[in-house]
Structures are given as C-alpha cells and as structure tokens.
Amino acid sequence: MSDVALGSRAGSVVEELRKLPAFFRRDLLVMWSYRLAFFTDWLNLLVQIVVFFFVSRLIDPAKIPSFGGERASYMQFVAIGIAVTSFMQISLGRVVSAIRTEQLQGTLEALLITPTAPTTIQLGSVLYELFYVPIRLFIFLGLSWVLFGVTFEVSGMLPAIGVLIVFVPFVWGIGVLSAAGVLTFRRGTGAVGVGATAFTISSGTYFPVGVLPAWLQPLAKINPITIALVAIRRALLGGAGWAEVTPTIVLLLPIALVSIAIGVVAFRAALRRERRRGTLGLY
C-alpha cells in the first residue's frame, strides 16, 4: 500500500473517531431525558444488593472458595459476580438493540446516508454504555462496601480494570454478531437474552463453578466470563497483582479479537444483504 493510501486510510480512521463523541452526547442527552428510568436503575441496583445481603446470611462461608489465602464471604463473592455480569448483560443488550432501536425509531437510514462507516455507528451507539456501565459497576461495589461492609482489596483495583478492559471487546464482538442476526431476522433479542443468561449461570456469578454438575464444569471453565470473573475476584478479594492476572489478560485478548472480527464481518454482511434486498428500513 502506498504512503498516500496509508495516509488517507489513517485520515479516515481519525475522521471516524472524531464522530464518536457526537454519539456519546446524543445518548447522554437521550438518557437524561428519561430521568426516572435513570434513577430506577440505581434503585434496582440497591435492591439487588439488599436481597443478596440477606441471602448471604443463609450460605455457609466454608463453601465459598478462598482468594489469596483468605476465605471470602458470599456477599463479597456474589457482589463481584453481579457487578461483572450486569456489566456484560447491559453492554450486550445495548449493542444488540442499538441498530434495532435506530431501525424502529426510523433513524437508521438517516444515519446510513451520512458519510459514516457502519462500524462507527455500531461503536458510537454503545459508547455511552461503555462509560456508564463501568461507573455503575464501581458504584455498585462502593455501595456494597459502605452499606454492608463488603470489603475489597484496593490494590487489586487496577489489575481488575485491566481484565475488564480486555473483556469489553469480547462482549462487544458477541453483541455485534447478535446485532447482525437481529438485523437479518428482525427478531432474536429474546434468544440473545437466553444465551446471555446461560453464559451467566455457567460462569459462577451466583455460585462457585464447583457446585455445577460434573459434566458442565469443563464447559463452565472455558466460558470467557468465568475466566474474567475468576481473575477479577482474585484481584479484588485476594489482592492479586498484575503478574497474576496477566495470563488471564493474555488468554482473553485473542478471544476478544476473534469475537470482534467475527462480529464486524457478520454485521457488514447483514448490512450488505439488507441493502441488496432493499429492506433496511423495514422492521
């Protein structure tokens, strides 16, 4: 590729990246216009913490795995599980529904006739969540700490964030792949929800993977959510540092890249198919 072509390509990428804050601002303004839903989300979060706090009183701490030599309480165990999987579910839900929502509200074609790459539209449509959901996650953990004394290792925060950063592209890739399916078949958000729940249940969010049936345990262990969760729990409950979470990051990185590549290819193919069929605006 010539220098001119490379330069032009780099220029295009920069131009596309410059558009992303516009999506963020749009979604922030839209979300803020639904203030009640915004506050209800926080209320739900609080209720969830309260419920699991009382459930935790029924669970024998001896059955909870230990992290960094210290046995964790069920509340500590489940708080991280809920934080990470709600992060995944909200992000996944938004990626899947972003294009569908544009289609339903009639703005998809208006977006697609602007000189904006479909990938930018996809990424831009979830950018707000990519900021909001991690903030929500840390506030959730903070509330658990303040209200119910659920403590976490502060030293493990940055390594946990490191794992989360490589986990995000994996979720995005799965989401874009699902969005391609929804764009093609017009339905399927329900199936995506079932898939996400299956992933969550087998990931050790609410209970240790060790209590699953023996035949399911090998599958649960290769579930990327399980892999991420184990590392994040080690960091936040056992104080694991970068050296201990790096193998997980190295393992998750190619999974995330493959997930994104498959998702983007599938989404472009779905978009091309819709253009060919002339059904892009139909819902």
Partner 1 sequence: MSATIDRDVVRPPDAPDGRPPAIEIDDVSRTFGIVRALDGVSFAIAPGEIHALLGPNGAGKTTLLRTITGLVEPDGGEVRVLGRPTSDFSSREFRRLIGLVPSGDRTFYLRISGLENLVFFGRLHGLRRAAAVGRAWDVLEAVELTQAAKQRVGLYSHGMQKRLSVARAMLMDPAVLMIDEATHDLDPDGALRTRRLAETAAARGASVVWATQRLDEIRGFCHRVTLLSHGRVRFAGTVPELTAVAMTRRYLLRVLVRDDPTASAREIVARIGAAVGPRGAVVPAGELDGSDVVLVLEEDAVLSDAIARIAEAGVDVLACREERSMVEEAFLHLTGGGQG
Secondary structure class of 223 (helix, strand, coil): coil
280 binds partner 1 (CB under 8 A): yes
Amino acid residing at 222 = I
The stretch near partner 1 (CB under 8 A) out of 110-118, 213-221, 227-235, 251-259 is 110-118
CB of residue 31 to partner 1, shortest distance in Å: 9
Q: Which of 10, 17, 30, 147 binds partner 1 (CB under 8 A)?
A: 30
Q: Which of 113, 154, 214, 243 binds partner 1 (CB under 8 A)?
A: 113
Secondary structure class of 212 (helix, strand, coil): coil
The stretch near partner 1 (CB under 8 A) out of 11-19, 170-178, 181-189, 253-261 is 11-19
The stretch near partner 1 (CB under 8 A) out of 35-43, 62-70, 174-182, 270-278 is 270-278
Where are the alpha helices (H) located in 202-241, listed in sequence order? 217-221, 224-238
Closest CA to 283 of 57, 100, 84: 100
CA distances from 231 to 67, 217, 225, 244 (A): 10, 17, 10, 8
Two structure tokens written together for 58: 């029924």
Closest CA to 123 of 52, 61, 70, 171: 171
Amino acid residing at 125 = S
List the interface residues with partner 1, window 117-146 (CB under 8 A): 117
25 binds partner 1 (CB under 8 A): yes
116 binds partner 1 (CB under 8 A): yes
CB of residue 242 to partner 1, shortest distance in Å: 38
CB of residue 218 to partner 1, shortest distance in Å: 46
Two structure tokens written together for 16: 């596309």
List the interface residues with partner 1, window 31-70 (CB under 8 A): 33-34
Instruction: Strands of the chain (E only): list them.
Output: 66-67, 70-71
Q: Which of 13, 22, 50, 147 binds partner 1 (CB under 8 A)?
A: 22
CB of residue 266 to partner 1, shortest distance in Å: 19
12 binds partner 1 (CB under 8 A): yes
114 binds partner 1 (CB under 8 A): yes
CA distances from 90 to 83, 98, 108, 145 (A): 11, 12, 21, 22
Cα angle at 202 between 199 and 203, to 5 degrees? 80
For partner 1 (CB under 8 A), the number of binding residues is: 31
Q: Which of 40, 44, 66, 105 binds partner 1 (CB under 8 A)?
A: 105
The DSSP symbol for 62 reads G
Distance CA 160, CA 69 (A): 18
Q: Which of 6, 17, 29, 258 binds partner 1 (CB under 8 A)?
A: 29
Secondary structure class of 278 (helix, strand, coil): coil
Binding site for partner 1 (CB under 8 A): 12, 15, 18-19, 21-23, 25-26, 29-30, 33-34, 105-107, 109-117, 275-278, 280-281
